[in-house]
Amino acid sequence: MFRRVLVKTLGLVGVTIQYGCIAHCTFEYIGEFVLCSGPSMEPTITNHDLIFSERLSRHFYRIEKGDIVIAKSPFDPKMNICKRVIGLEGDKVCTSSPSDVFKAHIYVPKGHVWLEGDNLRNSTDSRTYGPVPYALIRGRVCLKVLLE
């Protein structure tokens, strides 16, 4: 009796570990669902939108200008940010706000990207913290889930 209970328990633990490993690998290497908060990407992505971020593009260096990405915040590694790629390494980007009379420019260094929110007036982005290392990119947004 005890042996049968032990075998069933160990079998259940084994199956749980297997599914846990599959889930971990799926979310780490293929993609994940992310609930966005904040106004920085409005009107493209609004507060409480659910998006799917795929991770394969990041691994194969397929991030391009215009893509929306999820990245680790350069200020707080526990927080993710959702921004649009404005410049890739070697690109010249404008760092001043649209209302500035004199425009300032910077070249994006090797291994970095320039990220900005679509809502320029209400976004903390590369204009504040500079170029973001490519290694901080977690994934590329490829799907917005419509919840109604």
Which positions are annotated as active-site residues? 40, 83
H-run or E-run covering 59: helix 56-59
Handedness of CA 65, 40, 55, 130 (dihedral sign): positive
E-strand ranges in 1-148 read 31-35, 50-54, 68-72, 80-87, 92-94, 105-107, 112-116, 132-133, 137-145
The neighbour count for residue 40, using CB atoms within 10 Å, is 22
CA distance 148 to 49: 11
